[in-house]
Chain A
Amino acid sequence: MNDLFENPLKVINTGLKSFSDNIRSVGADSVHLDWKPPLISDAVLLNRIKSNKEIIDVANRKALDIVMKGKPLLTGLDIAAKVIPGMHPKMILHSGPPVEWKDMCGPTRGAIIGALIYEGLASTPDEAEKLAASGEIEFDPCHEHNTVGPMAGIVSARMPVFIIKNETFGNYAYCTLNEGLGKVLRYGAYSDEVIDRLRWMEESLYPSLKNALNDLGGIDIKALIAQALHMGDEVHNRNRAATSLFFRIIAPALVRTSEDKEETAKVLEFINGNDHFFLNLSMPAGKACLDAAKNIKNSSMVVTMARNGTEFGIKLSGTGDKWFTGKAPVPDALFFPGFTKEDANPDIGDSTVTETYGLGGFAIAAAPAIVQFVGGRAADAIKYTLEMYEICIGENSVFQIPALDFRGTPTGIDVIKVVEKNITPFLDTGVAHKNPGVGQVGAGVVSAPTEPFVKACQEFLNRL
């Protein structure tokens, strides 16, 4: 005890902030904890965490290790119905947890209308809506089919998809090709220009890329992400560097395999003109790595985190296939001129797979160019990333943040830490208009709601 009297007093203050200020004002050292009460107050459950700490730690280490060992490779492209498990002509995949047509939000409905027209199953929006409501179409989450989709995340049978193979564990993940910004299907738009672009993607972009990739043999997506983080991307809301890197690799192969110079030029222009082209590669890369870490007994790591515009859902490695859901929040965003928060749809999309994989909002400190989403200062972005270390199992071995002296990104969300510290994942996001057919109205950030994490943690602890 007498050691205390012989060393300078250094105080960690929890609770009333003024106590810490007072200590500092007399010249002593103190740090203040921005403490919040845990999300679960049931002492029995909290004790269960303590008494099972070791087995949980071991399981989580194993789960994180699998995620980090994953090696996502872009091996090719194909048509959804041919490669996505369980896909059929009357099936439509959507983002987030399961949701019935009657509960679907505007953008998801809009995108489904567009997809049904694109598939030739309906010729007008009215017809499409009737068909969607008829029960004839099977809706299912992308996540249940080794697939992820940004925003509405709509995938239909004829759509071309990227194929990502996790080289280490042999599993696959799929994602459609990114359409660009503005009036696009994934934000719920379904006008002629949207359908025409989808057709061009199927008829021109897809075969060109497929041929080019055959020529290249495959692209290491993990290495591209690692480089992009050093170049100012977090590969969720900013993909400019990663898209550029992809362009540098794909361009010679596209030219080499070209059958029509003009078409190849259009393909190159399309990729070049769409900063978010790479998003549809960073997402399935994360999916492929996280899927390999599913079903590890006693692991409280989050393996799935996705929204369908109505509900926000998560899955844990240690609780199998069960979704834990809560109401999806409306993001804080910067809105395009003419739009306000009133127009915004609740949070939507599978793109939170990037955060689940230690990227996106978790790596926002690497992306100073988009700090206007988080308060305008680079320091704000760093603050958010630092906060995410609090709820993660570990730090990434490959993805690093230059501004944090190349510290690995916070990776592997631990639902127990989320609940104990009352900190939910910080997510970058795009914002869709709440009505079908309008499209994107802004971009911003959002904190995940607490409810899914509380439910998941309770179930996890009860199963121990």
Chain B
Amino acid sequence: MVRAIIKSGVYHDSVTLMLATREVNRLPGIDEASIVMATKENLAILKNAGMLPPEMERASENDLIIAVKAQQEEQAKKAMQAVDQIIKDLRKRDDKETDQSLKSLDSALQIMPDANLALISVAGKHAVAEARKALESGLHVMLFSDNISLENEKELKMIAHEKGLLMMGPDCGTAIINGVPLAFANVVERGNIGIVGASGTGIQEVSSIISNNGGGVSQAIGTGGRDLHKEIGGIMFLDALEALANDDQTAVICLISKPPHPDVLKKISESIQKQQKPVVALFIGADSKKVEHSGAVPAGNLEEAALISVALSMQENPQTVYKKLNRRNTEIKDQAQTLVKNIKGKYLRGMFSGGTLCDEAQLLLANDGIKTYSNTPLDEDYKLKDIWKSQEHTIIDLGEDAFTTGRPHPMIDFGLRNKRILQEAADKDVAVILFDVVLGYGAHLNPADELTPIIKKAKNTNPTLIFVCSVTGTEADPQNLNKVKIALEDAGVTVMPSMSAAAELCSNIVHLLDKRGCC
């Protein structure tokens, strides 16, 4: 049975509600629970899930709605009654440090008159007003929220540009300003490499690899994924590039993005040509000649971008990096030979939480002639018919909207990916499962505890299945890179130093399996 109640005028942020939902789901007799603000979108989701009794459809967007599917009336009632206390407990944990609750930007500015950045992560439809207020108060803005129109993005970025402020985002997941990791970011060494990135996990992977290889980051500025689209015209990418050029602590500039719109690329190239400082550019999947033309050093993947930046920051020749990576690839070939010996299946399945890492793996495999199906394919012909079902070689991004609607991001909540890993393991044709683990602030605090039992279970079902992963992060991250790595290795996972190395290994394995298949 489905039961629901409305609480008028009660508001909690989505993370609090998701955590509360998880607690309610654990109560006896509860099949499914949903605690959400009754926005139009959430009501539609509830309705589709059959979790919305008709009399609840009148709920307004300032109402909280608690819906539970339970086996018995009494259990549903108990669960709904428990919600208040669960939320109170969650809030109490939150409130410990705060002496005073601030309700508006004005009052926050009274308490912190020298504030210089606003980090905004409220729902998209309210975020624009909050960001505008912050910019008008002279604050730089990092806008984590998504679901914001291009018009609004442009408007905010124009205001910021006029005022000489940073407008990072919308949909900016990662930044490191003055050594402080913001939102989903890693604790990296400070140094002289400045990063501008249109991708959150891209910045995370590059900054972590820089830090793990003796380099350091001065600033990492996120722009949001659409900044290099024609409509936005790279306003913030260009402003950030300029700011890093003028920053005394930045010696090398590293740019990360999907290929910009040609008009925007032209503007970026012009800007790069003016720079005195060396610029490393990775436009994921773009023709490297276009990049070279601008005077930037092209990088083929995130790892390469990071390592070249480190070399340049130490006045070393980038050629040393290519040599080193070539040597490493030879080692990976040998590693693949060893690994394939016991494998029975033939397909690769990639289960990703980071969008850019997913792109990177697909791209590397495609360059090696391996076509992969995906929910976010490089080639539309390889779009999965059903995102819930893999076919042949498949690589999916579980951080994509279709998977995250009404659910926390897979970097926070491993539930969906774990379920999918078990589903893949049950398929006897599957030989390799490739996945990413992203550490740092914002991400799950104990990823190994979530993954290792699942991997063991998967290996029980499919004993010859092998697992390959990369871990994005550093030893200074709250999860500690080394600890996570050891735990995963103990569970039998092959942990590679970067996603490109992990994908390279998988590429070799797939080629070896193909050869075996044909002979």
Inter-chain CA distance A387–B98, complex, in Å, is 14
Residue pair B441, A33 in contact (C-beta under 8 Å): no
Given the interface pairs A31-B112, A33-B104, A46-B129, the reply to whether A23 lies near B180 with Cβ below 8 Å is yes
Asked if A35 is at the interface (CB within 8 A of a chain B CB), the reply is yes
Say which residue of A5, A18, A34 sits within 8 Å of B15 (CB atoms).
A18
Residues of A within 8 A of B139 (CB): 12
Residue pair A22, B243 in contact (C-beta under 8 Å): no
Residues of A within 8 A of B239 (CB): 1
* B103 closest partner in A (C-beta): A390
Q: Please, what's the 1-or-0 string for A373-396, where 1 marks a CB less than 8 Å from any CB in chain B?
A: 000000100010011011000000
Residue pair A19, B13 in contact (C-beta under 8 Å): no
Say which residue of A2, A10, A37 sits within 8 Å of B115 (CB atoms).
A10
Residue pair A421, B104 in contact (C-beta under 8 Å): yes
Residues of B within 8 A of A387 (CB): 101, 103
Inter-chain CA distance A41–B129, complex, in Å, is 11
Inter-chain CA distance A30–B109, complex, in Å, is 11
Asked if B225 is at the interface (CB within 8 A of a chain A CB), the reply is no
Residues of A within 8 A of B106 (CB): 390
Residue pair A4, B120 in contact (C-beta under 8 Å): no
Number of chain B residues whose Cβ lies closer than 8 Å to a Cβ of chain A: 66
* A17 closest partner in B (C-beta): B94
Residue pair A14, B120 in contact (C-beta under 8 Å): yes
Residue pair B117, A36 in contact (C-beta under 8 Å): no
Asked if A215 is at the interface (CB within 8 A of a chain B CB), the reply is no
Asked if B402 is at the interface (CB within 8 A of a chain A CB), the reply is no
Asked if A44 is at the interface (CB within 8 A of a chain B CB), the reply is no
Size category of the binding interface on chain A? 35 or more
Residue pair B118, A12 in contact (C-beta under 8 Å): yes
* A327 closest partner in B (C-beta): B8
CB proximity to B under 8 Å, residues A375-420: 379, 383, 386-387, 389-390
Residues of B within 8 A of A23 (CB): 119, 180-182
Inter-chain CA distance A9–B118, complex, in Å, is 10
Main secondary structure of the interface of A (DSSP, over half): mixed
Asked if A51 is at the interface (CB within 8 A of a chain B CB), the reply is no
Residues of B within 8 A of A450 (CB): 8-9, 62
Asked if B274 is at the interface (CB within 8 A of a chain A CB), the reply is no
Residue pair A22, B130 in contact (C-beta under 8 Å): no
Given the interface pairs A18-B15, A26-B181, A35-B130, the reply to whether A12 lies near B119 with Cβ below 8 Å is yes
Asked if A458 is at the interface (CB within 8 A of a chain B CB), the reply is no
CB proximity to A under 8 Å, residues B87-122: 94, 97-109, 111-112, 114-122
* B130 closest partner in A (C-beta): A14
Residues of B within 8 A of A210 (CB): none
Asked if A38 is at the interface (CB within 8 A of a chain B CB), the reply is yes
Residues of B within 8 A of A28 (CB): 178, 180
* B250 closest partner in A (C-beta): A5
Asked if B226 is at the interface (CB within 8 A of a chain A CB), the reply is no
* A450 closest partner in B (C-beta): B9
Say which residue of B102, B134, B249, B441 sits within 8 Å of A31 (CB atoms).
B102
Asked if A422 is at the interface (CB within 8 A of a chain B CB), the reply is yes
* A36 closest partner in B (C-beta): B11
Inter-chain CA distance A337–B121, complex, in Å, is 46
Given the interface pairs A12-B134, A387-B101, the reply to whether A26 lies near B180 with Cβ below 8 Å is yes
Residues of B within 8 A of A31 (CB): 102, 108, 111-112, 115
Residue pair A16, B102 in contact (C-beta under 8 Å): no
Asked if A15 is at the interface (CB within 8 A of a chain B CB), the reply is yes
* B476 closest partner in A (C-beta): A26
Q: Please, what's the 1-or-0 string for A189-202, where 1 marks a CB less than 8 Å from any CB in chain B?
A: 00000000000000
Asked if B257 is at the interface (CB within 8 A of a chain A CB), the reply is no
Residue pair B117, A10 in contact (C-beta under 8 Å): yes
Residues of A within 8 A of B432 (CB): none
Asked if A84 is at the interface (CB within 8 A of a chain B CB), the reply is no
Residue pair A9, B62 in contact (C-beta under 8 Å): no
Inter-chain CA distance A39–B139, complex, in Å, is 25
Residues of A within 8 A of B180 (CB): 9, 11, 23, 26, 28
Residue pair A19, B112 in contact (C-beta under 8 Å): no
Residues of A within 8 A of B115 (CB): 10-12, 31
Asked if B47 is at the interface (CB within 8 A of a chain A CB), the reply is no
CB proximity to A under 8 Å, residues B115-171: 115-123, 125-126, 129-130, 134, 139-140, 144-145, 164-166
Residue pair B122, A9 in contact (C-beta under 8 Å): no
Residue pair A10, B94 in contact (C-beta under 8 Å): no
Asked if A257 is at the interface (CB within 8 A of a chain B CB), the reply is no
In the complex, how many angstroms separate the beta carbon of B364 from the nearest chain A beta carbon?
32
Inter-chain CA distance A102–B356, complex, in Å, is 66
Residue pair B103, A11 in contact (C-beta under 8 Å): no
Residue pair B164, A34 in contact (C-beta under 8 Å): no
Say which residue of A1, A7, A10 sits within 8 Å of B165 (CB atoms).
A1
Asked if B219 is at the interface (CB within 8 A of a chain A CB), the reply is yes
Asked if B489 is at the interface (CB within 8 A of a chain A CB), the reply is no
Residue pair B104, A8 in contact (C-beta under 8 Å): no
* B243 closest partner in A (C-beta): A1
Asked if B331 is at the interface (CB within 8 A of a chain A CB), the reply is no
Given the interface pairs A5-B249, A15-B122, A450-B9, the reply to whether A37 lies near B103 with Cβ below 8 Å is no
Residues of B within 8 A of A30 (CB): 119
Inter-chain CA distance A29–B94, complex, in Å, is 17
Q: Please, what's the 1-or-0 string for A161-196, where 1 marks a CB less than 8 Å from any CB in chain B?
A: 000000000000000000000000000000000000
Asked if B1 is at the interface (CB within 8 A of a chain A CB), the reply is no
Asked if B36 is at the interface (CB within 8 A of a chain A CB), the reply is no
Residues of B within 8 A of A119 (CB): none
* A30 closest partner in B (C-beta): B119
In the complex, how many angstroms separate the beta carbon of A12 from the nearest chain B beta carbon?
5
Residue pair B118, A35 in contact (C-beta under 8 Å): no
Residue pair A10, B114 in contact (C-beta under 8 Å): yes
Inter-chain CA distance A383–B187, complex, in Å, is 35
Residue pair A33, B181 in contact (C-beta under 8 Å): no
Residue pair A4, B125 in contact (C-beta under 8 Å): no
Inter-chain CA distance A404–B227, complex, in Å, is 46
Inter-chain CA distance A15–B141, complex, in Å, is 13
* A8 closest partner in B (C-beta): B178
Inter-chain CA distance A116–B119, complex, in Å, is 62
Residues of B within 8 A of A107 (CB): none
Q: Please, what's the 1-or-0 string for B72-99, where 1 marks a CB less than 8 Å from any CB in chain A?
A: 0000000000000000000000100111
Residue pair A37, B101 in contact (C-beta under 8 Å): no
Inter-chain CA distance A28–B181, complex, in Å, is 10
Residue pair B145, A15 in contact (C-beta under 8 Å): yes
Residues of A within 8 A of B15 (CB): 16-18
Say which residue of B102, B120, B140, B441 sits within 8 Å of A15 (CB atoms).
B120
In the complex, how many angstroms separate the beta carbon of A199 from the nearest chain B beta carbon?
44
Q: Please, what's the 1-or-0 string for B55-66, where 1 marks a CB less than 8 Å from any CB in chain A?
A: 000000110000
Inter-chain CA distance A31–B107, complex, in Å, is 11
Residues of A within 8 A of B441 (CB): 19, 22, 26
10 extra A-B contacts, CB within 8 A, seeds A2-B247, A38-B129, A389-B107: A1-B165, A9-B117, A10-B115, A12-B112, A12-B119, A14-B105, A19-B183, A32-B98, A383-B101, A450-B62
A-B contact pairs, 24 of them (CB 8 A): A4-B166, A4-B177, A9-B116, A11-B116, A12-B109, A12-B118, A13-B119, A15-B121, A16-B15, A19-B144, A19-B183, A19-B441, A21-B97, A28-B180, A31-B102, A33-B102, A34-B103, A36-B11, A37-B11, A37-B62, A41-B125, A390-B106, A423-B103, A450-B8
> Which residues of A approach B to under 8 Å, CB–CB?
1-5, 7-26, 28-39, 41, 46, 379, 383, 386-387, 389-390, 421-423, 449-450
Closest 6 A/B residue pairs (Cβ): A15-B121, A22-B441, A28-B180, A34-B101, A1-B243, A15-B122
